[in-house]
Chain A
Amino acid sequence: MKLRKWNRIIHRDLGYVFFGMSIIYGLSGIALNHLDDWNPDYIIRTGEIILDDIPQPGTITRQQAAGLVDRIDRDYRYKSHFFPQENILKIFLSEGSATINLATGHAYIEVIKKRPVFREVNFLHYNKPKKLWTWFADLFAGLMILFAITGLFMLKGKKILIGTQEPRRLEATIRRILGD
């Protein structure tokens, strides 16, 4: 089979494979370029309210902390709590956390949700799976180089390389190198 035909087949088939990987790295690349502007892995929503009639630090039980969660929002679920500072109660929710100043009743609520699609593609882009994915990503990178090179020779005749004066001589040189 002729060299150009193999070149086209390789370039076409690599293109099928690269579709998915290009989406992964393209999406996460854009996301990671703007780390200063947003968190690409999580959607973090915050809110503040004032609670009244809150228990004193030394007496807060799990039930009382869960009761405070109910007062903040009935849809939130209590997980656990601790005191990072005197008079500051931090309650962990299944959805995030609530930090309450027991002296003033001021509650700061943080609800965290995983950002769909972006979190997954970032996970792969950062090479967090490691092991097999590392090898696959290296293979992808190598094939991307091959993809770029084969792309230069997709067109026939005078258009084989944009800007080249003697495309046929170049093609003949390559054939000689490859022994074709």
Chain B
Amino acid sequence: MNRIISLLFAISLLASCGQGTKNNRGLTGEEVKPISVSEFLSDAGPFVDQSVKISGTVVHVCRHGGQRLFIVGEDGEERIRITTGKDIPEFDIELEGETVEVTGIVKELIIDETYLAEWEAEVMEGSTSDRGEGHEGGVGHGEGHGDSPASNLEQPEAGDQPETEEPAEDPTESQLARIQQVRDEIAQSGKDHLSDYWIETIEFKVIKE
């Protein structure tokens, strides 16, 4: 009985190890629309809940869990958030710098006053929230969550000393500031809401040059 149990255990572990990052699953016959990064950024609304295929250079992979990455187009100015799907366990950090082709479903989060009020209530209660992720630098663009100090590397004024680490910002204050920033963006947009778009991955592959 010992041997049987040990064998079953070993087989299960081997089977689970074989279910790592699967990135070449076929689609189930759904039409896939190829789009460019600039097309997506200019107006992703028509593509919501549809399968799209998009290529770009990976500029950031989330260091905690690898559930998100960000790609840019040729101009490298604005980025799109890509999240894992049910068949993708995580994104490997080695994807940074690679050009990838992602097939996935466009998702939308509508950010209106109701959403902001709920977010604000969570912050005031002290509960941790990931609502702020992807909203830095403007809703819909997802400039990453700045988990690298290099993201603050700016052109200093003349005579500046070498950079030192700034004291950590109070998370509640930073969340409230972000909420207010989004409110200001909604006010400037002339609409009653903003939309945050991202792509949930079905499959992806690295494009070798």
Residues of A within 8 A of B156 (CB): 101, 104
CB within 8 A of B12: which of A14, A99, A132?
A132
Bitwise, A1-31 to B at CB < 8 A (1) or not (0) is 0000000010001101100110000000000
Check A136 against B12 for contact (C-beta < 8 Å): yes
Assembly CA distance A92 to B94 (angstroms): 10
Check B76 against A84 for contact (C-beta < 8 Å): yes
Residues of B within 8 A of A85 (CB): 154
Query: Which residues B5-34 have CB closer than 8 A to chain A?
Result: 5-6, 8-9, 12-13, 15-17, 19-20
Closest residue on chain A to residue B144 by CB atoms = A84
Check B162 against A97 for contact (C-beta < 8 Å): no
Query: Which residues B70-114 have CB closer than 8 A to chain A?
Result: 72, 76, 86, 89-90, 93-94, 96-99
Check B19 against A129 for contact (C-beta < 8 Å): yes
Residues of A within 8 A of B150 (CB): 90, 97, 99, 108, 110
Judged by a CB distance under 8 angstroms, whether B189 is at the interface is no
Check A42 against B155 for contact (C-beta < 8 Å): no
Q: Which of B40-48, B57-65, B177-185, B196-204 contacts A (4 or more CB under 8 A)?
A: B57-65
Q: Distance (Å) between the CB of A50 and the closest chain B CB?
A: 8
Residues of B within 8 A of A132 (CB): 12, 15-16, 19
Interface size in chain A (residues, C-beta < 8 A): 46
Assembly CA distance A123 to B5 (angstroms): 23
Summed over the interface, the residue pairs from A and B with CB atoms below 8 Å come to a total of: 103
Judged by a CB distance under 8 angstroms, whether A172 is at the interface is no
Check B89 against A128 for contact (C-beta < 8 Å): yes
Check A79 against B149 for contact (C-beta < 8 Å): no
Assembly CA distance A93 to B98 (angstroms): 10
Q: Distance (Å) between the CB of B94 and the closest chain A CB?
A: 8
Bitwise, A103-138 to B at CB < 8 A (1) or not (0) is 110101010101000000001101011111100100
Q: Distance (Å) between the CB of A135 and the closest chain B CB?
A: 9
Judged by a CB distance under 8 angstroms, whether B2 is at the interface is yes
Check A130 against B86 for contact (C-beta < 8 Å): yes
Residues of A within 8 A of B96 (CB): 79, 92, 97
Residues of B within 8 A of A61 (CB): none
Check A101 against B155 for contact (C-beta < 8 Å): yes
Check A82 against B72 for contact (C-beta < 8 Å): yes
Check B155 against A130 for contact (C-beta < 8 Å): no
Assembly CA distance A76 to B180 (angstroms): 42
Given contacts A13-B2, A106-B163, contact A87 B155 (CB under 8 A): yes
Assembly CA distance A94 to B13 (angstroms): 30
Assembly CA distance A46 to B90 (angstroms): 24
Q: Known A-B contacts: A41-B63, A79-B97. Give 19 more (CB < 8 A).
A: A13-B1, A16-B5, A39-B64, A41-B64, A41-B66, A42-B93, A48-B162, A48-B163, A84-B76, A84-B151, A101-B153, A103-B155, A104-B155, A106-B153, A123-B89, A126-B65, A129-B20, A132-B15, A133-B16
In the A-B complex, the 8 residue pairs with the closest CB atoms:
A92-B97, A128-B89, A99-B150, A79-B97, A133-B16, A82-B76, A129-B19, A108-B150
B contact residues vs A (CB 8 Å cutoff): 1-2, 5-6, 8-9, 12-13, 15-17, 19-20, 57, 59, 63-66, 72, 76, 86, 89-90, 93-94, 96-99, 148-151, 153-156, 162-163
16 contacts between A and B (CB under 8 A): A17-B6, A21-B9, A41-B64, A48-B163, A88-B154, A92-B96, A92-B98, A94-B94, A97-B97, A101-B153, A108-B149, A123-B90, A126-B65, A129-B19, A130-B86, A136-B16
